[in-house]
Amino acid sequence: MSAVALPARPGAVAGVKNTLTLAWRSLVSVKHNPMELLDLSIQPIMFLLLFTYTLGGAISGSTSAYLSFALPGILVQNTIFATMNIGILLNTDLTKGVFDRLRSLPIARWAPLAGRIAADTVKQAWSVALLLGVGMLLGFRVQTSFWGVLGTFGLMIVFCLAIAWVAVLVGVIASEPDKVQIFMFAVVFPLTFTSNIFAPTESMPHWLQHWVKINPVTIVADAVRGMLNGGPVATPVIQSLLWAAGFLVVFAPLAVWRFRRRV
Amino acid sequence: MTNAIVAEGLVKRYGSTVALDGVDLAVRTGSVLGVLGPNGAGKTTAVRILATLLRPDAGRATVHGLDVVKDAHRVRSLVGLTGQYASVDETLTGTENLLMIGRLIGMSRKDARARAARLLADFSLSDAAERAAKTYSGGMRRRLDLAASLVGRPRLLYLDEPTTGLDPRARIEMWEIVRTLVADGVTVLLTTQYLDEADQLADEIVVIDHGKVIAGGTPAELKSRTGAQTLAVRPVDPRDLPIVLSVVGEVTRSTPEVDDNVVIAQVTEAAALPAVVRRLDDAEVEVAELTLRTSTMDEVFLSLTGHRAELTPEVAAP
């Protein structure tokens, strides 16, 4: 292969192929990484079982009533947790030298990042399907239609593509994967709990309710409840999309800027 | 002879730290250039610039005539990189790692699979091919790293400290692999902290310290200038130290050091050892210890720069 015959820059088609190869790599590595498998499959199911059977009766009067309230919220929480994994995986690539290897190859510059995010979308879809499936085994029933389920998948993926940039930013800034974990625990964990995913807003102290009502986690959970259980859909979906747009506009440029500075 | 790599006046700063302070390099096509220097000398920074991973703040470099900044994409298709930082994915198996790289550089699935199997066989990794790379030993990891950089059959190979941290046997295996590659016509740029490694593998050596090239030449030239071997003499009676000092100084034509009753000097000629033995014998000095060994990096530095190599870690890219 002669160097001069090569294009000066990889084309868009080559870039998409690179992205697919790197997405394949992310998915194959799950097979060898039991921790990630745990995060993607066991943890959401465990949350669902624990909350439904220990708190369900106290909060909603019965486990079956609680299930229809909590499942949409747990879907959202799981999406956020799983998306934050992008940060950990990206940081591991950066600190372990995998990223430098990739950058030394004649591939599209954006492919490594795009590959990670593409793989994440597949993982998300898997988690959502799994949670819905297990929920149904426990007695959860979709009260709307097939379109409600499709809309849920769509909204989750749009939302996770937007917050993925937060994960990318944290992954790029952190000096080691452990620090990303600390961010997860200190910021993401409280963020998902100070919402209405596990308990109704009205049951919380007045001062907290102000935050809970505008927390994007609450809004997306309400949208998913509407799409799966029935009830208002348009308002929470539009608000969710606005939040997603907000995350994208603020964090995507920041993440790309820090990313370029680091690599 | 044409040059595969030409670098002129490379400068790289990290804040107030100057990692490279005007480095010139030339590597003849088909030869091995050894870049020798202590930790933090700027070796890795230089390799990262030549591999298009970093942009120089000043100066320019070309690889087979292609500018590493303006024509980075084409340069990447010519160069294979193996280093402390350019690594494989530990969660993938050996086969999966090589397959991924083959697919990324545009091979068909079938070709990538065949190339992966071939490289794993060549580097004695066939048995471990289906195991995750995190289960590999240090030597196996390094061989897989090297195999990963060879998937695209690069004409140029950068080896950044390829044997640092390896046990002696794995080091020698690595050297054999590098020799085979060179015999196949691959141009190699090798950085190392070990004098003997540069001596074993390189056609030419440049010595870098504090981001500057401080010496260069063939291994033989360098050795004759710096003293590739170190002579150490310990008299039985410490009162004989002045005599030993003057004898060793005269024979080696240098100013020996004294460290814990041992006189140490760099030796450039093979005849020095018998001459020292003879003259100490004439002076009736009883010797408790007399050794001739390969100089350490530290000692070469001392004779080239007059200061000891500082053992600070390599300046990491932010």
The residue in chain B having the minimum alpha-carbon distance to the alpha carbon of residue A14 is B106
Instruction: Give the pLDDT of residue B1.
Output: 60
Sort out which chain B residues have CB atoms less than 8 A from A23's CB and list them: none
Closest by Cβ to B86, choosing from A21, A100, A111: A100
Instruction: Give the pLDDT of residue A158.
Output: 92
Instruction: Give the pLDDT of residue A204.
Output: 92
Best mutation target, A2, A31, A36, A104, to test chain B (most B CBs within 10 A): A104
Instruction: Give the pLDDT of residue B164.
Output: 85
Instruction: Give the pLDDT of residue B313.
Output: 43
Q: How distant, in Å, are the alpha carbons of A5, A14, B73, B75, B77 from that of A2? A: 5, 18, 13, 11, 9
Instruction: Give the pLDDT of residue B261.
Output: 87
- Six token digits for residue A261: 């500075």
Query: What DSSP letter does each residue of chain A carry, written as one string?
Result: --TTTS-SS--HHHHHHHHHHHHHHHHHHHHT-HHHHIIIIIHHHHHHHHIIIIIHHHHHSSHHHHHHHHHHHHHHHHHHHHHHHHHHHHHHHHHHTHHHHHHTSSS-TTHHHHHHHHHHHHHHHHHHHHHHHHHHHHT---SS-HHHHHHHHHHHHHHHHHHHHHHHHHHHH-SSHHHHHHHIIIIIHHHHHSSSSSS-GGGS-HHHHHHHHH-HHHHHHHHHHHHHH-S--HHHHHHHHHHHHHHHHHHHHHHHHHHHHH-
Low-confidence residues of chain B: pLDDT under 70: 1, 85-86, 227-228, 296-299, 301, 305-318
Instruction: Give the pLDDT of residue A189.
Output: 87
The residue in chain B having the minimum alpha-carbon distance to the alpha carbon of residue A3 is B74
Q: Which residue has the higher pLDDT, B165 or A251?
A: A251
In chain A, what's the furthest Cα-to-Cα distance? 72
pLDDT in tens, A210-241: 999 999 999 999 999 999 998 889 999 999 99
Query: What DSSP letter does each residue of B91-118 carry, written as one string?
Result: TSBHHHHHHHHHHHTT--HHHHHHHHHH
pLDDT in tens, A98-128: 988 999 999 998 899 889 888 988 888 888 8
Closest by Cβ to A21, choosing from B51, B86, B104: B104
B185 DSSP assignment: T
Give residue A32's pLDDT band: very low, low, confident or very high (50, 70, 90).
Answer: confident
Would you call A126 exposed, middle or buried from its count of C-beta atoms within 10 A (0-12, 13-18, 19+)? middle
Closest by Cβ to A101, choosing from B64, B88, B132: B88
Beta bridge partner(s), residue B258: B263
Which single residue is written with the structure tokens 């747009």?
Answer: A245
Closest by Cβ to A100, choosing from B73, B85, B93: B85
Rg (CA), chain A: 20
Which single residue is written with the structure tokens 């959502």?
Answer: A128
Instruction: Give the pLDDT of residue B310.
Output: 52
What single-letter amino acid sits at B143? R
Best mutation target, B49, B73, B134, B136, to test chain A (most A CBs within 10 A): B73
Whether B77 sits inside 8 A of A102 (CB atoms) is no
The residue in chain B having the minimum alpha-carbon distance to the alpha carbon of residue A90 is B89
Is 70 exceeded by the pLDDT of residue A31?
Answer: yes
Give residue A183's pLDDT band: very low, low, confident or very high (50, 70, 90).
Answer: confident
- pTM (2 decimals)? 0.81
Percentage of the residues of chain A whose pLDDT score is greater than 70:
98
ipTM score over 0.85, yes or no:
no
Instruction: Give the pLDDT of residue B298.
Output: 65
User: Do B187 and B27 touch, CB atoms closer than 8 A?
Assistant: yes
Instruction: Give the pLDDT of residue B130.
Output: 94
Percentage of the residues of chain A whose pLDDT score is greater than 90:
46
Q: What are phi and psi of A207, to 5 degrees?
A: -60, -35
Q: How high does pLDDT run on average in chain B?
A: 88
pLDDT in tens, A139-181: 899 898 899 999 999 999 899 889 999 999 999 998 888 888 8
pLDDT in tens, B125-144: 999 999 999 999 988 998 99
Instruction: Give the pLDDT of residue B193.
Output: 85
Instruction: Give the pLDDT of residue B159.
Output: 94
Give residue A9's pLDDT band: very low, low, confident or very high (50, 70, 90).
Answer: confident
Segment A132-144 mean pLDDT: 91
Best mutation target, A93, A100, A101, to test chain B (most B CBs within 10 A): A101
Alpha helices in chain B (DSSP H): 43-50, 72-78, 94-104, 109-122, 138-150, 168-183, 195-201, 219-226, 241-252, 272-282, 297-305
Is 60 exceeded by the pLDDT of residue A1?
Answer: no
User: Do A196 and A218 touch, CB atoms closer than 8 A?
Assistant: yes
Angle at A113 between CA B105 and CA A104, to 5 degrees: 40
